[in-house]
Chains A and B, each alone.
Chain A
């Protein structure tokens, strides 16, 4: 009887140990559908977009968006950045002298989302925006947002307060998006480390990206974070195991990322960055189960040359996260002229002649060391910072030149709202 009980207990324990699976969830972008009035609008010209950038008071919708928001245009989208992790990604068009706005809001720390729709009337800023008047009289954005589903059921109103301070705009501060835009666990509609995410990321307020680089068995650098092909990053398929065991064609034909994309080659991803985005910084996080710096350097050089020919402002840094990576890097010819980023000590930054020092945020603001780095004419970034209070602390009281985060809109809010 005692043995029978123990047997049952053992089986019970094994079953319980198998519990605790967390399945990843998809959160789709809310949409008002294909028949909205927005489909009748024309895109806003570049000069008009700049007029809309600025700091706005929230006079309706404070419960979600706070008391002030930052509006900032990227390549194709208008991003509204809030102080606590809420944000809006909006499309803007003009119809006669009215500005029509449509998109969605999202809270980055959970899956809350909903649609948003608004307009700017002709005599409430619409005319000034269309005429690209650099000193608009007033801009009032009136509309609503939905708390559930695709219905608008709450009012939204933003009133223009002031432009983003010129000293803030002129200061180079990099808002780098982790894994090209966010993680699988952030429940975004595109996969991490994909070209689709690179296309998506500017709408979140990013000015740069961090991407993870690994080598296939035939020496092709690709974007992928984990050591293994797994269900966290890929759809269920016929292959599994270390990514380094497969050549690129096998990955292309047999593996799809969680939202259906192919694992991109580094070269294709960087061509997309230079040809199809306005991103200014790329941080190559070298995952080094198999050393890949030698394969990456020629691609970095080719893309930087292309950017120069196109007049694009673009920096691509090879990341050095460990002593092994540093040793590998320093064995390359002319390594001191290769743009790099070092995550270790300030002395290692000097040894490798890295342009950027990037310590982990968990070591604090490290003001003295950042000042030392600045004295050498280098930059300092920190990673990967996601907590609102710590982002605010690091931006307001730290001296870093950039933050790597899964939530670039939060860092963007605290950066752009500064007076100087």
Chain B
């Protein structure tokens, strides 16, 4: 996707609701309670859904051109008592998919908050065309922590997580290779901005930097480099 196209897509996503609904009166929204990434006491037994895209820029060393790809991102939260919550994610670009499930413990005091969490992710990639007969699977641990700050209308969240690859399996034609490794792959750091744009609709904009050696969406490039790469992601989601 060219720079021009990216610019147009992002501005459309952000500005369109303003243009379409600029004249309507908006009901009050407590951003601290309506957000998905900002640590807070989620509404008990209530499911929250966010849907959008993650735009990824893969390392030049791996793809040898300025390849970017959008991942479909489905993000779910489910509130539990005593500050706990569950979180789920589905990311897919068809040939690469990951589902992750995890738990959080959230604490909030006035406008500041934090949470501690752990996710387990299972990624599956299948390519059976254009000279590929491959399936790749990995199991990844994501211990994580977030701190948040909110104003009346904005919620900021800073999230850090470790990426630990527990197990991997690759099938190439008829050949199968499994590796059981608790391999420290790297870390990610992210910042999320959550804001009501119109009516009660919350827009989440996030920037995440993956500082990792192996990156599951790009399993099919079969990178063998033992180097850390910065792989940025831009997240754009709407809370449904």
Tell me whether B20 is interfacial, beta carbon within 8 Å: no
Q: Is there contact, CB below 8 Å, between A6 and B18? A: yes
Tell me whether A37 is interfacial, beta carbon within 8 Å: no
Q: Is there contact, CB below 8 Å, between B177 and A362? A: no
Question: In the complex where A9-B205, A22-B61, A360-B131 touch, is A111 in contact with B195 (Cβ < 8 A)?
Answer: no
Instruction: Provide the bound-state CA to CA distance between A3 and B59, in Å.
Output: 34
Question: In the complex where A5-B195, A185-B225 touch, is A19 in contact with B232 (Cβ < 8 A)?
Answer: yes
A360 partner residues in chain B, CB cutoff 8 A: 131-132
B230 partner residues in chain A, CB cutoff 8 A: 19-20, 22
- Of B7, B60, B133, the contact of A364 (CB 8 Å cutoff): B133
A387 partner residues in chain B, CB cutoff 8 A: 222, 224
Which one of A2, A20, A111, A366 has the greatest number of beta carbons of chain B within 10 Å? A20
Tell me whether B183 is interfacial, beta carbon within 8 Å: no
Which one of B179, B209, B226 has the greatest number of beta carbons of chain A within 10 Å? B226
Q: Is there contact, CB below 8 Å, between A2 and B225? A: no
Q: Is there contact, CB below 8 Å, between B18 and A2? A: yes
B62 partner residues in chain A, CB cutoff 8 A: 185
Tell me whether A42 is interfacial, beta carbon within 8 Å: no
Q: Is there contact, CB below 8 Å, between A386 and B224? A: yes
List CB contacts (< 8 Å) of B6-28 with chain A: 6-7, 10-11, 14-15, 18
Q: Is there contact, CB below 8 Å, between A362 and B59? A: no
Q: Is there contact, CB below 8 Å, between B234 and A16? A: yes
Tell me whether B193 is interfacial, beta carbon within 8 Å: yes
Tell me whether B48 is interfacial, beta carbon within 8 Å: no
Instruction: Provide the bound-state CA to CA distance between A110 and B61, in Å.
Output: 12
B172 partner residues in chain A, CB cutoff 8 A: 361-364, 390
Q: Is there contact, CB below 8 Å, between A363 and B173? A: yes
Q: Is there contact, CB below 8 Å, between A17 and B132? A: no
B65 partner residues in chain A, CB cutoff 8 A: 226, 232
- Of A14, A24, A362, the contact of B133 (CB 8 Å cutoff): A362
Tell me whether A389 is interfacial, beta carbon within 8 Å: yes
A386 partner residues in chain B, CB cutoff 8 A: 222, 224
Tell me whether B134 is interfacial, beta carbon within 8 Å: yes
Determine how close the nearest CB of chain A comes to the CB of B4; give it in whole angstroms.
11
List CB contacts (< 8 Å) of A357-410 with chain B: 359-366, 386-390, 393, 397
A232 partner residues in chain B, CB cutoff 8 A: 60, 64-65
Instruction: Provide the bound-state CA to CA distance between A417 and B100, in Å.
Output: 43
Q: Is there contact, CB below 8 Å, between B55 and A17? A: yes
A17 partner residues in chain B, CB cutoff 8 A: 3, 6, 10, 55, 57, 232, 234
Binary contact readout B41-80 vs A (1 if CB under 8 angstroms, 0 otherwise):
0000000000000010101111011000000000000000
Instruction: Provide the bound-state CA to CA distance between A387 and B6, in Å.
Output: 35
Q: Is there contact, CB below 8 Å, between A362 and B132? A: yes
B173 partner residues in chain A, CB cutoff 8 A: 362-366
A362 partner residues in chain B, CB cutoff 8 A: 127, 131-134, 172-173, 222
Binary contact readout B157-188 vs A (1 if CB under 8 angstroms, 0 otherwise):
00000000000000011110101000000000
Tell me whether B109 is interfacial, beta carbon within 8 Å: no
A3 partner residues in chain B, CB cutoff 8 A: 18
Tell me whether B207 is interfacial, beta carbon within 8 Å: yes
Tell me whether B107 is interfacial, beta carbon within 8 Å: no
Q: Is there contact, CB below 8 Å, between A20 and B175? A: no
Instruction: Provide the bound-state CA to CA distance between A380 and B154, in Å.
Output: 62
List CB contacts (< 8 Å) of A1-21 with chain B: 2-3, 5-6, 9-10, 12-14, 16-17, 19-21
Tell me whether B227 is interfacial, beta carbon within 8 Å: yes
Tell me whether B120 is interfacial, beta carbon within 8 Å: no
Give chain A's interface residue range (CB within 8 Å of chain B): 35 or more
Tell me whether B229 is interfacial, beta carbon within 8 Å: yes
Q: Is there contact, CB below 8 Å, between A10 and B177? A: no
- Of A10, A109, A359, the contact of B15 (CB 8 Å cutoff): A10
Binary contact readout A43-87 vs B (1 if CB under 8 angstroms, 0 otherwise):
000000000000000000000000000000000000000000000
Chain B residue nearest to A226 (CB atoms) is B64
Tell me whether B231 is interfacial, beta carbon within 8 Å: yes
Which one of B209, B227, B230 has the greatest number of beta carbons of chain A within 10 Å? B227
Question: In the complex where A364-B173, A365-B173 touch, is A22 in contact with B224 (Cβ < 8 A)?
Answer: no
Determine how close the nearest CB of chain A comes to the CB of B106; give it in whole angstroms.
25
Instruction: Provide the bound-state CA to CA distance between A390 and B134, in Å.
Output: 13
Instruction: Provide the bound-state CA to CA distance between A354 and B224, in Å.
Output: 31
Instruction: Provide the bound-state CA to CA distance between A185 and B226, in Å.
Output: 12
Chain A residue nearest to B18 (CB atoms) is A6
Q: Is there contact, CB below 8 Å, between A16 and B207? A: yes
Tell me whether A38 is interfacial, beta carbon within 8 Å: no
- Of A14, A16, A393, A397, the contact of B7 (CB 8 Å cutoff): A14
Instruction: Provide the bound-state CA to CA distance between A388 and B177, in Å.
Output: 12
A363 partner residues in chain B, CB cutoff 8 A: 131-133, 172-173
Tell me whether A271 is interfacial, beta carbon within 8 Å: no
Tell me whether A107 is interfacial, beta carbon within 8 Å: yes
Instruction: Provide the bound-state CA to CA distance between A109 and B134, in Å.
Output: 22
Q: Is there contact, CB below 8 Å, between B7 and A185? A: no
Assuming A362-B134, A389-B177, A389-B179, what are 13 further A-B pairs, CB within 8 angstroms? A13-B234, A14-B7, A22-B229, A24-B61, A109-B224, A362-B133, A362-B172, A363-B131, A363-B132, A363-B173, A364-B173, A365-B175, A393-B177
11 A-B contacts (beta carbon < 8 Å): A9-B195, A10-B11, A12-B205, A13-B207, A17-B234, A24-B60, A110-B226, A111-B227, A364-B172, A366-B173, A389-B177
